[in-house]
Chains A and B, each alone.
Chain A
């Protein structure tokens, strides 16, 4: 029997395992010699060595393959040499080239090459698809890119603070997983719930600054619309959608109001509490006048989320100018709109101005003078009495000290 030298066992391998491996290698060599050739033909040829769980290469990397799992995987019908093209025989050559997935998956490779993940060393195919010998179709729950597994797969990097900081990216996984999409996916197991690749794509992921990216501002309504088709249609009919379609990038898209990853259920109190400042970040004058009203005052105090926020009156997706007869804040619709909360609202009631500016004499003269009168009354009354009281205090104290010292004088 000939004892072949194989470049596998390292000094760290346990003696018993090493002995067993040597024995197997010996058997393989014997078989090959018996067949009269060193050529590797079938999986079984390779697995006679590589099925060993402890098998490592000279650098200490595992080169073992679970034959059963591989056989059930997407690539199970392929011969080892179809991917490991430079290993055709035994003994193996000294240097082997890495497997090239793009040989078959040219489209995906091309997409990846132009994407944010183009650096092959940082992002080999296996970083998303997992172990190369156990790749499953994406509709198989065992697949790393099965819809319910995608966030965890992406989150391996994008849920890592250090990685996020290094690349100047937000740490999105925690935001996503607590969002309404993340909740639907992780808690309800909804396959239709948006996962990372629903919005970002898979191989050809582009920066949101790239006009070709589905997350580029102008493309966001269309991207969200792949699922939320009705809302996108409403949005495109409103002032914000019209402005975006006309190329006005200052107008908000879905993610400006709902955020990109930490999307909340809009009826949730947290969303109702955070939303008004979002509208106000553009509509500053409207926010400041809203702040002066009772709607805002009670809405700010929490525990009472029903109070009117911007979209309760203006509409959310199909926001229209007040001059448009379809707008809920069109004068003709106000009784109905206000009446949703204020039972008994009449034509006089809706003359109330939810954005009145008491500091603007031209727009709200009555309010301006009432405020002025009240301020003067306040300032005048207080000024007079503060002076009055201070003088009184000084005089009383003076008298008190004088009478005390007078008494002290008598006693002495």
Chain B
């Protein structure tokens, strides 16, 4: 068992709203391109696009708040150990730097594969990239949505800047998630076509041991391994989430292709 039900739901809400935001944000970013106009008129014009964009934004903001509250409760209220520091934390540490260079050496055949812990450095990067992106894109988005309100305490040029920030950071998020995150987490040979652990919450003990040897041996030494063993996921859950995951990945790849084509034609 790697992810709780709440964490999996959070990921589902995150990727659903992210796909929604990307699908409605890209036509605005590339409003001159043919497909953007076709898509916009197909879904009911700009009014529909901005409505769904704002709807997804609000849902995602709420999900982000829920996550922050969860972290706060676990780390500050319940004083759960290892939330903010240590081998199970999302916070980067010296080992991540060593792992990064070790991993790069291994790519080139210059050293052994590093022993990754509960969260590998690229997973932490994904997490913090989303965290930072959420704040930056969210803030700039709300600044445009409620521009006259934000203008009370922001200088006028900031209203110009928020669009640049929003669109560039959004573009980065889209390109990163639909290429790097997809390949690193789901499409690479060890996980192809997708890593089911984020959907079912569980992975095989063998896979766990291979992917995260440090966390595995730590649990083994502390005798906590048995506590982490859970039941196999129901067949319907595996099948259902496999279909959902495949659709999400395909939508992402289509959007990636459209983004790249529009970006390089600009």
Contact = CB atoms under 8 A, between A and B. Distances in A.
Interface stretch (B7-15, B23-31, B83-91, B230-238): B23-31
Interface string A365-389: 0110011001101100110011011
Nearest to B157: A366
A341 to B, nearest CB: 10
A348 B28 contact: no
Contact of A346 (B46, B106, B151): B151
Interface in B144-187: 144, 147-149, 151-152, 154-157, 159-161, 163-165, 168-169, 171-172, 175-176, 179-180, 183-184
Contacts of B165: 370, 374
B37 A302 contact: yes
B46 A293 contact: no
Interface stretch (B47-55, B74-82, B193-201, B243-251): B47-55
Nearest to B32: A300
Interface in A375-406: 375, 377-378, 381-382, 385-386, 388-389, 391-397, 400
B164 A294 contact: no
A301 B28 contact: yes
Contact of B45 (A296, A301, A381): A301
B112 interface: no
A21 B190 CA distance: 105
A388 B171 contact: no
Contact of A367 (B148, B152, B160, B180): B160
A396 B187 CA distance: 11
A303 B47 contact: yes
Contacts of B224: none
B108 interface: yes
A385 B182 CA distance: 12
Contacts of B37: 300-302
B139 interface: no
Contact of A366 (B129, B152, B161): B161
A394 B189 CA distance: 9
User: What class of interface size applies to chain B in its complex with A?
Assistant: 35 or more
Contacts of B180: 382, 385-386, 389
A364 B157 contact: yes
B44 interface: yes
A141 interface: no
A193 interface: no
Contacts of B157: 351-353, 356, 364, 366-367
Contact of A378 (B28, B104, B168, B189): B168
B240 interface: no
A374 B165 CA distance: 7
B161 A301 contact: no
Interface in B87-120: 103-104, 106-109
The B interface, classified by DSSP as helix, strand, loop or mixed, is helix
A382 B46 contact: no
Given A297-B28, A391-B104, A397-B189, A342 B147 contact: yes
A403 to B, nearest CB: 11
B46 A291 contact: no
B148 A343 contact: yes
B188 interface: yes
B41 interface: yes
Contacts of A386: 179-180
Contacts of A400: 189-190
B57 interface: no
Contacts of B168: 371, 374-375, 377-378
Contacts of B129: 381
A343 B109 CA distance: 63
A300 B50 CA distance: 13
A345 interface: yes
A321 to B, nearest CB: 21
Contact of B176 (A346, A353, A366, A381): A381
A349 B108 contact: no
B154 A382 contact: no
26 contacts: A298-B46, A301-B28, A301-B36, A301-B37, A301-B46, A302-B45, A303-B40, A303-B45, A304-B47, A344-B149, A350-B156, A352-B151, A353-B157, A353-B160, A356-B160, A366-B161, A371-B168, A381-B172, A382-B176, A388-B104, A389-B183, A391-B104, A391-B108, A392-B107, A395-B106, A395-B107
Given A348-B154, A364-B157, A389-B179, 7 more contacts: A298-B31, A300-B36, A351-B156, A371-B168, A377-B172, A386-B180, A388-B107
Interface of B: 27-29, 31-32, 36-37, 40-41, 44-50, 103-104, 106-109, 122, 129, 144, 147-149, 151-152, 154-157, 159-161, 163-165, 168-169, 171-172, 175-176, 179-180, 183-184, 188-190
